[in-house]
Amino acid sequence: MGSSLPPLLLLGLGLNLGIKTQGEFLSKPILWAKPSSMVAWGADVILWCQGPPRVDMYRLERLGSSRDYRDQPGLPGPTAQARFPLGSASATIAGRYRCSYSNGSRWSQPSTQLELVVTDLYDKPFFSILPSAEVSSGESVTFSCSSKHGFNTFALAKEGRAGIWKTQEGKSPVHFPVPAVTADHGGTYKCYAFDSQFPYLWTAPSEPLELRVKGPPRAPSPTKSDARAGRPRAPSPTKSDARAGALTPPHVPTKEVDISAGPGPQDYTASNLARLGLAALVVTALGGLLAEAWLAWRGGSHGLPGRFSRPQTQQPHR
């Protein structure tokens, strides 16, 4: 049994090191497209992959084919990027991509997938906003998109927002209802159409339309008397409304208080001085009591001579 311990210890250390090595994954890189992940037919497209400094090799893969990849050595210096030019946008480059990098024989985790969409392959669809492109806040509105080519999937995009806002399948025309619009829904929109069997080949964008949302009327500005009273007043409830339990604006008490007619600011200086004087008297009295008790205790100990002295032993009579 004793001779088998060293091999067992070595085996355990080897397993531990192996597990530790497998657990130390390289962080995944970042993949992006220029000018964008949605490009018009014929535009030049470049994919960039970025990892940590001193990367030996970068690899770009187009998903869907096990052999559709290309390798690129890492750029020297602190750049830590690899450039993959794809050429002019066409149906042959549309699809899903990801990238990774290697240091020695170890490969990193793959990046988040990038979906490269090529547009302008077909005529633009027809786009409308119903019932009107100008609505009040809280009203419902519907975006409608249709195409003469018989596509079965439609996408709605908003300018200034990353990615597609909504995607919906169905026969033309397809509707995107918004039950209650808010000011955040205002902006410029356009729609696209495509076939679900070719999800990365889209039509040209529709004509852009702007949705204008009219908000609720603003409260009147505060008067000079309200400013002197110490708070700006929107139309505040009367005393009869407060007694009836009427709702008040946020952060305003239900019972109306006229600040201008209320008592002025109170002066707490005299009361604070009185409290400080009383506290000083209490501390002084406690100090006197403690001193008296200490003196009494000390006098008591001196009144018992020899209490803590070592007892003397008597000499035996000769």
Give the pLDDT confidence of 32-44 residue by residue, as tens digits. Answer: 999 999 999 999 9
Same domain flag for 157 and 82? no
| CATH at residue 36 | 2.60.40.10
- Give the mean pLDDT of 61-80: 80
Which residue among 214, 241, 265 closes a domain? 214
Same domain flag for 115 and 131? no
Same domain flag for 34 and 72? yes
Q: Say what the pLDDT of residue 300 is.
A: 57
Q: Say what the pLDDT of residue 241 is.
A: 41
Residues 6+ apart with CB under 8 A from 94: 116, 117, 118, 200, 201
- Give the mean pLDDT of 26-54: 92
CB 145 within 8 Å of CB 127: yes
Does residue 295 lie within any of the structural domains? Answer: no
Same domain flag for 74 and 158? no
- For residue 191, which of 119, 289, 97, 265 has the smallest C-alpha distance? 119
Does residue 239 lie within any of the structural domains? Answer: no
Q: How many domains does the chain have?
A: 2
Does residue 46 lie within any of the structural domains? Answer: yes
CA distance linking residue 110 with residue 49, whole number of Å = 11
Name the band, by pLDDT with cuts 50, 70 and 90, for residue 91: very high
Q: Say what the pLDDT of residue 287 is.
A: 77
Tokens 């509105």 — which residue? 141
- For residue 205, which of 117, 90, 131 has the smallest C-alpha distance? 117
Same domain flag for 106 and 150? no
Does residue 198 lie within any of the structural domains? Answer: yes
CB 151 within 8 Å of CB 172: yes
Same domain flag for 91 and 74? yes
Does residue 5 lie within any of the structural domains? Answer: no
Provide the domain limits for residue 62: 26-119
Which residue among 214, 242, 274 closes a domain? 214
Does residue 222 lie within any of the structural domains? Answer: no
Same domain flag for 113 and 130? no
Which residue among 180, 214, 248 closes a domain? 214
Tens of pLDDT along 186-234?
A: 999 999 999 999 999 999 999 999 999 987 644 555 555 554 555 444 4
Does residue 195 lie within any of the structural domains? Answer: yes
Does residue 13 lie within any of the structural domains? Answer: no
